[in-house]
Amino acid sequence: MPTPPPGVDHTIDQSRFWSYHPGGTQFLFADGSVHFLSYTINYATLQALATKAGCEVVGEYN
């Protein structure tokens, strides 16, 4: 589990993705594109985006 930056000491911040961007964070995708993902993203969609297994049906995430 990554260590949060200085000043971030909330337990919830250690168990999900986070950044200093309001509402979400930027993710670099394997194709080289960068997408902003909201903290409110559907968990199943986030899992489908994060797997390397392939063939998942990914819902809207932008």
Number of domains the chain is built from? 1
Query: Can you give the residue range of the structural domain that contains 37?
Result: 1-62
Separation of alpha carbons 49 and 26, rounded Å? 13
Q: What is the pTM of this model?
A: 0.63
Residue type at position 41: I
Q: Which residues pair with 37 in a beta bridge?
A: 25
Contact 26, 19 (CB under 8 A): yes
pLDDT in tens, 20-52: 778 888 999 888 999 999 888 888 888 888 887
Question: Is 14 or 17 the better-scoring residue by pLDDT?
Answer: 17
